[in-house]
Amino acid sequence: MTAAPAAVSVAELEEIARTLRCHVLRMIAAANSGHPGGSLSATEIVCALYFGGVLRHDPAQPLWPDRDRFILSKGHGVPVLYAALAERGYFDVEELWTLRQIDSRMQGHPVQGVTPGIEASTGSLGQGLSIGIGHALAARLDGRDYHTFVLMGDGECQEGQVWEAAMTAGNYRLGSLTAIVDANKFQLDGPVDAINSLAPLDAKFAAFGWRVIEVDGHDIAAVVDALQQARAGTDAPTCIIAHTVKGKGVSFMEHNNEFHGKAPTAEQLAAALESLS
């Protein structure tokens, strides 16, 4: 049986996260289109999954039946997932620079069956957790022990379907399911709290029978620990609320919702890469 990749040191994970951020910026700049803010906020989460010894997967066998599933419900953040998949060997890093080009496998939102390592076609927000429930129930019915992780945005959690899914997962006590909320406090139109506050998000998930873990989403050691705790759960689904900063790592993008869906200029790209060097 193929196991989860061996964990690397915190220092190595931090360096990998820096590389992923650089890839994100370069590919979005090359496309002159994309979503840097939410990709950068999720970088440590995705890095921890793919490089922190959490996710059981095999780049040589993308459809291995016993692989863990990772579903990116906030599909507009796919640049960071593409970057991680490339660095893990699912495809060549050079393919990243074809983001959003016609006939490229690097579409602007994930497309299942086109890009190796993509488990679900997402981008219409609110649907990923329901897809994850399907995988978790299938694992139970098939007698398999894979774990399903779903990454959502906090703004996305305003969707009613998320709470129907949360109720269902709690009802069926899906211990093989983990939801991760990238709580970067912004959505397309502005601050989440100003548009439709989710507070208290922890109590809401708990009320539906979920185990809740809150974590600094940029403390990669803490993120790995939270994910490992979640993966070990058996009697209830786990929600990890990861408190993050939109645009993390690039000073002029941090907390700046202008970069929700705006590519950096050539000058901004150079400054961003310099700040990450």
> Tokens standing for 55?
């996710």
> Tokens standing for 60?
């040589």
Q: Are 147 and 56 in contact (CB under 8 A)?
A: yes
Residue 5 lies in a domain: no
Residue 186 lies in a domain: yes
Q: Is 5 a residue whose pLDDT tops 70?
A: no
What average pLDDT does this structure show over 54-62? 97
What average pLDDT does this structure show over 56-76? 98
Please give the Cα distance from 113 to 212 (Å, whole number).
32
Sign for the pseudo-dihedral over CA of 178, 180, 181, 183: positive
Residue 3 lies in a domain: no
Residue 167: C-alpha distances to residues 75, 133, 160, 207, 239 (Å) = 23, 11, 11, 9, 13
Reported as a single tens digit per residue, the pLDDT across 74-121 is 999 999 999 999 999 999 999 999 999 999 999 999 999 999 999 999
Residue 4 lies in a domain: no
Q: How many CA atoms, within 13 angstroms, populate the side-chain half-sphere of residue 120?
A: 26
Q: Confidence class of residue 234 from pLDDT cuts 50, 70 and 90?
A: confident
Residues 6+ apart with CB under 8 A from 251: 275
The runs of H, that is alpha helices, within 187-243 are 192-196, 201-207, 220-231
pTM of the predicted model, to two decimals? 0.97
Q: What are the beta bridge partners of residue 72? A: 151
Q: Are 12 and 221 in contact (CB under 8 A)?
A: no
Sign for the pseudo-dihedral over CA of 240, 74, 163, 257: positive
Residues of the domain holding 67: 10-276
Return the percentage of the chain with pLDDT > 70, whole number. Answer: 97
Residue 2 lies in a domain: no
Sign for the pseudo-dihedral over CA of 134, 166, 171, 56: positive
Residue 130 lies in a domain: yes
> Tokens standing for 256?
């700046």
Q: Confidence class of residue 8 from pLDDT cuts 50, 70 and 90?
A: confident
| pLDDT number for residue 1 | 39
| pLDDT number for residue 233 | 85
Reported as a single tens digit per residue, the pLDDT across 144-175 is 999 999 999 999 999 999 999 999 999 999 99
CA dihedral 152, 163, 198, 224 (to 10 degrees): -40
What average pLDDT does this structure show over 240-257? 98
Q: Mean pLDDT for the chain?
A: 96
Residue 22 lies in a domain: yes
Residue 193 lies in a domain: yes
Domain count, the chain: 1
Q: Are 213 and 200 in contact (CB under 8 A)?
A: no
Please give the Cα distance from 22 to 212 (Å, whole number).
32
Which residues in 108-136 are b (16+ Cβ under 10 Å) and which e? bbbbeeebebbbbbbbebbbbbbbbbebb
| pLDDT number for residue 277 | 87
CATH number at residue 186: 3.40.50.970
CA dihedral 224, 230, 231, 237 (to 10 degrees): -150
